[in-house]
Structure formats: structure tokens, C-alpha cells
Amino acid sequence: MSYGRNGEDKMRVLHIMSGFGGGISSFIQNKAIGLLDSDIIFDVATYDEVSPAFRNSIEQMGGTIYPLINPKKESWNAFVQSFDTIFHQHHYDVVHCHIVGYRAIAYYAIAKKYVSRFYIHAHDTRPMTQTGLKNHLLHWFNRRLNHYMSDVALGCGDLAIQSHYGLVNKNHAMVLTNSIEDERFLMDDDQRLTLRQALREQYHINDSTVVIGQVGRLEKVKNLSFTLNLARYIKEQDLPAKIFLVGNGALKESIQTTIEQEQLQSVIELLGRHNQIEQLLPLFDVLLLPSFAEGLPTIAVEGQALGVPILTSDNVTTEADFGLGMFQQLSLDEKMNAWYVALEALAHEPVPVLSRRLEVLKGVKFTEAASAELYQEFLLGEINHYHINPHS
């Protein structure tokens, strides 16, 4: 099959992402790894520096990372030139844009001069939590734009699609799963327990302490004020628990200042960003995700794959509940005591064996091969709708 001009025999997809780090870059990297031996090549346009591992995964496919010029830092013309130039390097069969709403207009306007297939990928549910007339009007406008620009309503889950596209006929909506890297996260149970013990010794954690992990960018949407309140509650009640925050972001310095000023070091600690998160996850007895908005969080999949249960706010889609008994939700209106009791209970739940976790994740297409196959079928036009049915 010939896809491109001049006899090119591989399909070429341009991914557009604004920044590096988090679920979007993980999605692209995992798909690149899963499709390494396929007839598909990814290029990536981004404003950010990327990690060596991410760059390597793209270059191994035969792809390129293209730097975009930020119009706010230089000029609009400089941005346009930096993006338009990419289309003179290769013919693209698909542009997969991870930027939504009015912010995607410029990419759409330029890309459509060269490409017929343009998709906008919904990665979160943030618009559903915004209040005020101005935000509601902008949300309505962005939904209309997404419908107009994207050939299919595309997202990491049905709730994310609904948030950015509105109510969509399921036959016209496509969920692309945020896969995990099997070799990293489907760890042998004995290996996981050995690593857990070593990590607890490294961080001076005794056997009776409930270790709570929150993984993600340190931004307002992650509701880190809630996590600090939980830390205060643990300290005030003298409870046997400690929280570790993993990630970087705009709130890092203010969180560290709060921890020091209120002397919370014994109950909460910042660990920064970890590129090999699978080497840290076994430290945690339970994961915490009290976010104001999420799509289908990759960390929820990674945690359950590794045998770490997760407690989330009810702003997170239940599509991340795979029926393993490792996923639970609470309202942010619940008292802190209810959250702590739920965290402690989850921490002591028996972990399903690896073979069971693998079977379930493969069934819902979150393993590397199953998710990559789903994406490949979509790109090749073999399917145009898919939905996660974890309990079917």
C-alpha cells in the first residue's frame, strides 16, 4: 500500500503537543514503541524540550522532533513559519493534534492546506468543572470548533470526549487508550515485593506506615490544596501515614514553602519528577488522585498494572475501574476522615495476581500491543469507533 507522495510506502502521522511531560507525551511515546515495526512513522511538533527516551522512541521509527516557535515569545510570523515548514519536509497522511478548542485553530488552518485528515484528541474533562458565564460560553464555542475541525470525536475516554465535544453518538466517537509499557509496569509479583521492601528501607518507612503517593504535574487542576489538607489531618491526628508527591510544576515552590512553614516534613515529601516511575510505584500502598478534572489518567492504569490501588475524586472517569477491586472514588465534599479511612482500607486490600491484572488490561486494550493495534486500525481506517467496557 502506498500512503504518501513520491512512492512513500509508510504512513506518516504528525503529532502536535504544546509541552512535554504527562499523559500526552506518554500516549505518543507508548504508541511509538508499540508501532515500531509497523508501516507508520510519527513526527512530533512541540514547543518543549523532550527527554532522551522520548526522542529515541520517535527517531527509532524514522521520525523527527520539530521545535515550534512560541508566538508569545517571538512573533506570530515566526510561529507560522516554524509549523508550516514541517509540511515541506514530508507528506503527512494524518495530523493528530493534542491541543483543543480555539487554541487549535492555527494548527488546523495551516495543516489543512496539506492534509485531509485532522484529529483533535480530548485528554481531560477540565471544561466540565469550569464555572461562570464567560467560561460556559467559551466551552460551548470550543465544542463547536472541535466538531468542525476534527474528522472524528477522539479522546482518551468517553467522559473526555463528552467534555470537549458534547454529547456524541457512540458510533461517531473513538476512544484511544493510554497504554502502558508492559515490560515496565507488568512486573513479576516477587520482583515488585522485593523492590517495595528496598524502597521502604531507602525512605525510612516502617512496616506499619501507610504510604500514599500522588503522581502528576504540580498544577491547580490536581487539587494539591486537598493533599496538603490531608497531610495536616494526618499530622493532627498522629496517624501512621506519609504522602509522597511525585512530579514538577508551577506549584512546586509554594508547596515546599507550605511544608516547611507548617513543619509537615514528617507526613508529606516532594520527590520531584521520576522518568522511571515504575521503579518508585512499589513504594506506595495506595495512590491518591483528588483532581478537579481528569481524562482517563495514565497513572491509574500504571498503578493497577503494578498492583497499587488508587483512590480518586468523582471527577475522574470510572472507565479507569477495571473491576480488579483496586479503584475507588469519593466526593471532594466528603470529610477528610472518610478519605483517610478509604485510603487505609485500599492499602490493605489483597492485590490480584499478575496473570489476572494482565488478562484484564489486555481485554480493555491498555497493554502495549493491544493499544497500538487499536490505534493502527484507526489510522488505517479499519475502525472509527471504540469504547472501553471493562466489566463486559
117-122/94-97 β-pairing: parallel
Cβ atoms of 53 and 275 closer than 8 Å: yes
**Confidence (pLDDT) at 5:** 45
Long-range contact pairs involving 104-108 (C-beta distance under 8 Å, separation at least 24)? 104/145, 104/146, 104/149, 105/145, 105/149, 106/79, 106/80, 107/16, 107/83, 108/149
Cβ atoms of 368 and 180 closer than 8 Å: yes
Q: Report d(CA 31, CA 376) in Å as an integer.
A: 9
Q: Report d(CA 289, CA 212) in Å as an integer.
A: 10
> What residues have CB less than 8 Å from 8, skipping those under 6 apart?
2, 90, 91
| Structural domains of the chain, ranges and CATH numbers in brackets | 5-179+365-379 (3.40.50.2000), 182-358 (3.40.50.2000)
Give the CA angle between residues 211, 214, 219 to the nearest 5°: 155
**Confidence (pLDDT) at 130:** 62
What does the chain come to in residues?
A: 392
What count of other Cβ atoms lies within 10 Å of the Cβ of residue 226?
A: 18
**Confidence (pLDDT) at 170:** 84
What distances in angstroms separate CA 83 from CA 12, 66, 299, one per listed residue? Answer: 16, 8, 31
Q: Report d(CA 33, CA 372) in Å as an integer.
A: 9
Rounded mean pLDDT for each run of 10 residues along the chain, 392 residues in total? 55 95 85 93 95 95 96 94 96 97 96 97 75 84 94 92 90 90 90 96 95 95 96 98 95 97 98 92 98 86 96 92 95 98 97 94 92 95 86 54
Q: Report d(CA 15, CA 93) in Å as an integer.
A: 11
